Amino acid sequence: MNKFIILVYFILVTGQQLVAQKYIARQGRIALFSYTPVENIKAENNQVLSIIDLSKGRIAVSMLMHAFIFEKALMREHFNESYVESDIYPKATFEGEIIDFEPLLAGEQTRIIKGNFTMHGVSQELEIKAKINYVDDGYQLSGNFEAIVDDYHIKIPPLLAGNIAKVISVDFKFEYEPYQE
């Protein structure tokens, strides 16, 4: 009987420690896509940092805007200098909560992530549907959302208004591993 109690205690303590852990994705991926009749615009950033605190169900994401890679150098220049003004606003961030996340549940979970996305000095509240998988002692998180250019006070010159979509599709994928403090 004593061995059973010790075993149950061990399982509970181990489970609580797992839930209390933080997980980090050091090279997350964010992809932007903008469709226009003139030219599609695609960019990727593979230098995105994210941390999940399982004990609180919280998530944070930080990315350098200069790290986006475009098909054409001129697109990258316009993106950084004219639109997101990367010298003034070097980062975009997201801080939020994963609603009803069950860290010990095996397999894929589809959850809503609510939080604030800050870009170009403007914060907007977002609700994002995401898929979360527990894989190899870590988590994979992926999903997408749409960012409305006007919501972030990004000015598009009238001459180029037909070349830039008013809504940008944003895809993301993070692979988390245990974070050791």
Domains and CATH numbers, the chain: 22-178 (2.40.128.110)
Tell me which residue of 92, 109, 108 sits closest to 100, measured CA to CA.
109
Name the residue type at position 26: R
- Quick one: how far is CA 89 from the chain centroid? 18
Residue 145, token pair as written in the block: 């959302």
Judging by beta carbons within 10 Å of its beta carbon (0-12, 13-18, 19+), is residue 179 exposed, middle or buried? middle
pLDDT for position 17: 45
Return the DSSP state at 79.
I
115, β-bridge pairs: 96, 126
- Residue 34 vs residues 91, 129, 145, 146, 162: alpha-carbon distances, Å: 20, 20, 13, 10, 12
Mean pLDDT by 10 residues, the chain (181 residues): 42 43 96 88 96 95 97 91 93 97 87 97 97 92 95 83 84 95 76
Helix (H, G, I), strand (E, B) or coil at 167: strand
Global pTM reads 0.84
pLDDT for position 136: 82
pLDDT for position 78: 87
- How many angstroms separate the first and last alpha carbons of the chain? 37
Tell me which residue of 48, 58, 60 sits closest to 20, measured CA to CA.
58
- Residue 181 vs residues 21, 24, 26, 36, 48: alpha-carbon distances, Å: 10, 11, 14, 45, 19
